[in-house]
């Protein structure tokens, strides 16, 4: 459904009708077996492979994303999650027996996983397929109906997501609604059972406020400033190769991209030299070559270009040194991978999530300074440490907070479906991937069954006069 072309009044009706259709159908979907859900997941898996070329073309058209990155981060990341779900879904869906305490002897208890119902998936533009279809796979695995609204800023991708979902699902089970913020707002007025939002913390707050009106549960997958710590024991060249890779990928427009680097002062110069050399190796030895590199994307839209360019200009005006890069071309929305040093406190780049190819570097002398600096910010989504000293990365792990952490590599934590992916507070609420996604889209229903002919509860029925009951209650409180 593309709502851009129809009047505001009819969007409301169209969205309400779609929601109503899913509401009528949700019990049918909820009662599907593991086998039936797996068949749907297989259909989605095949469609992703069938549409591989079209997905690459859509992402190139949206912001010149290199096809190989599309293969790895959009297609393989999603098909890998689906295959993981196919292998484990029967076990995830099985009721989980739990023990009973002594006072409840004679009863049994288990957890029954049931679908939440109708879920709204609001996704951003930077990984449009991955961030729409992995949540969809989890929602389907858990037996839900879902409506996806992809971002309006990646229109080729949004249109293709709709085509793929339409090829795999009936609209009353999973549907895509294309449109902008106003469409998102109309969707948010519906009484969804669960809202799965990926995007900025600012919009996350709007989503949470809208969810509160219906007491819908929420998953918020947000962003923030993800730090990197490079200590004096690190393999500095390896660190530089990975930091440059994740900062150049998607032109830094990744929720788990390194935002800024805290480096031990003794290795700062070595790190910068290696970063420069890797940016050149990845994207070209000269500024012209880097601009023409087919492996380096553009910023998504003019507003975002101005925002990132504004952060660069502000830092430079305040006295920061551009150690590498710094070129930009507004008509192309191109900003070169850029290394900044001596960025003074108070520069806007230290406040906002950069979400672009600028890399401010800040030296520290004692690890405690780096830890204290990280802790001045809200909890980030990712935290990277490059260190060969266990006691160093262990200290960072114990003395900071973040959604996930990765040691001596960048991004690994996202690609392992056995790990939960999500933030804390400003970087998010809730988690998904693998079984965590199944659980996020399920309600864990507590079931207790009494099958004793002499239930212990009989002892505690009123009136509460007997000395024995009083004695037993004392025991209960103290020992049982
Ligand atoms: P965004 O918050 O602007 O938009 C995300 C979605 O929300 C889009 O579908 C958009 O149409 C909708 N939306 C925007 N304004 C809205 C409003 N006022 N009311 C209702 N819906 C609204 O985010 P973006 O620019 O698409 O993506 C960038 C942000 O997303 C960054 O902060 C990044 O860190 C974060 N992000 C997080 C993850 C993650 O997994 N945690 C992944 C990718 C991006």
Average pLDDT on 404-409 reads 98
Could you tell me the pTM of the whole model? Answer: 0.96
CB 458 within 8 A of CB 472: no
Q: What is the domain partition of the chain in residue ranges?
A: 8-222+431-443, 227-422
What sign for the dihedral angle of Cα 308, 309, 314, 316?
positive
Query: Percent of the chain beyond pLDDT 70?
Result: 98
Is ligand 1 within 6 A of the CB of residue 152?
Answer: yes
Q: Closest by alpha carbon to 249, among 135, 77, 410?
A: 410
User: Domain 227-422 class?
Assistant: alpha beta
| Active site (annotated) includes residue 255 | yes
HSE toward the beta carbon, residue 408, CA cutoff 13 A: 10
Is ligand 1 within 6 A of the CB of residue 227?
Answer: no
Cα 343 to Cα 26, 153, 225, 316, 382: the distances in Å are 54, 31, 16, 8, 22
HSE toward the beta carbon, residue 238, CA cutoff 13 A: 13
Helices (DSSP H) in 284-411: which residue ranges? 287-292, 302-317, 367-374, 390-399
pLDDT band at 12 (very low <50, low <70, confident <90, very high): confident
Average pLDDT on 65-88 reads 97
Q: Which atom of ligand 1 is nearest to the CA of 427?
A: 41
Which range (226-230, 430-434, 453-457) has the least confidence? 453-457
Instruction: Determine the distance from the C-alpha atom of residue 470 to the mean position of all C-alpha atoms in its chain, rounded to a whole number.
Output: 52
Q: Which pLDDT value is given to residue 475? A: 87
Q: What SS3 class is residue 446?
A: strand
pLDDT at 91 over 60: yes
Is ligand 1 within 6 A of the CB of residue 176?
Answer: no
Q: Which pLDDT value is given to residue 4? A: 55
The residues, any chain, with a CB within 8 Å of residue 243's CB and separated by 6 or more, are 228, 258, 261, 275, 359, 384, 410
pLDDT band at 465 (very low <50, low <70, confident <90, very high): confident
Q: Which pLDDT value is given to residue 6? A: 62
- Specify the CATH number of the domain 8-222+431-443: 3.40.605.10
Average pLDDT on 350-365 reads 97
Q: pLDDT tens digits, residue range 251-267?
A: 999 999 999 999 999 99
Distance CA 130, CA 70 (A): 10
Q: Read off the DSSP letter of residue 424.
A: S
Q: Residue 220 C-alpha to ligand 1 middle, in angstroms?
A: 10
Q: pLDDT tens digits, residue range 121-147?
A: 999 999 999 999 999 999 999 999 999
| Active site (annotated) includes residue 237 | no
Find the radius of gyration of the CA atoms of the chain: 26
CB 62 within 8 A of CB 154: yes
> What does residue 274 show for φ and ψ, rounded to 5 degrees?
-70, -40
Average pLDDT on 402-407 reads 98
Q: Which pLDDT value is given to residue 479? A: 79
CB 436 within 8 A of CB 420: yes
Q: Which pLDDT value is given to residue 186? A: 96
Query: Percent of the chain beyond pLDDT 90?
Result: 92
Is ligand 1 within 6 A of the CB of residue 125?
Answer: yes
């Amino acid at each position: 459904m593309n709502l851009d072309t129809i009047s505001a009044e009819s969007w409301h009706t169209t969205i309400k009708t779609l929601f109503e259709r899913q509401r009528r159908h949700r019990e049918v979907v909820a009662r599907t077996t593991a086998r039936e859900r797996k068949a749907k997941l297989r259909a989605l898996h095949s469609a992703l492979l069938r549409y591989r070329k079209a997905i690459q073309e859509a992402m190139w058209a949206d912001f010149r994303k290199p096809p190989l990155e599309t293969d790895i981060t959009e297609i393989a990341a999603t098909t890998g999650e689906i295959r993981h779900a196919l292998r484990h879904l029967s076990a995830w869906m099985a009721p989980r027996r739990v023990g009973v305490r002594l006072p409840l002897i004679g009863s049994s208890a288990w957890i029954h996983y049931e679908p939440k119902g109708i879920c709204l998936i609001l996704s951003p533009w930077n990984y449009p397929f991955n961030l729409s279809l992995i949540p969809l796979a989890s929602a389907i695995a858990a037996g839900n109906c879902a409506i996806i609204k992809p971002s309006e800023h990646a229109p080729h991708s949004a249109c293709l997501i709709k085509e793929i979902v339409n090829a795999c699902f009936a609209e009353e089970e999973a549907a895509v609604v294309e449109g902008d913020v106003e469409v998102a707002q109309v969707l948010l007025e519906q009484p969804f059972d669960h809202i799965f939002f990926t995007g900025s913390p600012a919009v996350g707050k709007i989503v949470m406020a809208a969810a509160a009106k219906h007491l819908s549960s929420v998953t918020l997958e947000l962003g923030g400033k993800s730090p990197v710590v490079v200590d004096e024991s690190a393999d500095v060249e390896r660190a530089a190769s990975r930091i440059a890779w994740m900062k150049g990928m998607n032109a830094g427009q990744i929720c788990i991209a390194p935002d800024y680097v805290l480096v031990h002062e003794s290795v700062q110069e070595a790190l910068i030299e290696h970063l420069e050399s890797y940016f050149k190796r990845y994207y070209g030895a000269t500024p012209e070559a880097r601009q023409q590199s087919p492996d380096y994307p553009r910023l998504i839209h003019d507003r975002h270009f101005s925002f990132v360019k504004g952060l660069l200009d502000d830092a430079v005006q305040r006295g920061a040194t551009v150690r590498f890069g710094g070129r930009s071309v507004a008509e192309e929305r191109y900003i070169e991978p850029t290394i900044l040093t001596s960025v003074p406190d108070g520069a806007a780049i230290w406040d906002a999530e950069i979400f672009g190819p600028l890399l401010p570097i800040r030296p520290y002398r004692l690890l405690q300074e780096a830890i204290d600096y990280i802790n001045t910010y809200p909890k980030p989504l990712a935290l990277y440490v490059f260190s060969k000293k266990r006691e160093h990365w262990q200290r960072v792990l114990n003395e900071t907070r973040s959604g996930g952490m990765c040691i001596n590599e960048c991004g690994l934590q996202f690609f392992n479906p056995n790990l939960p992916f999500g933030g804390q507070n400003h970087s998010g609420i809730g988690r998904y991937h693998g079984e965590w996604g199944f659980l996020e889209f399920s309600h864990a229903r507590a079931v207790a069954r009494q099958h004793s002919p002499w239930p212990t509860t009989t002892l505690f029925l009123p009136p509460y006069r007997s000395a024995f009951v009083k004695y037993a209650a004392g025991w209960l409180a103290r020992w049982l």
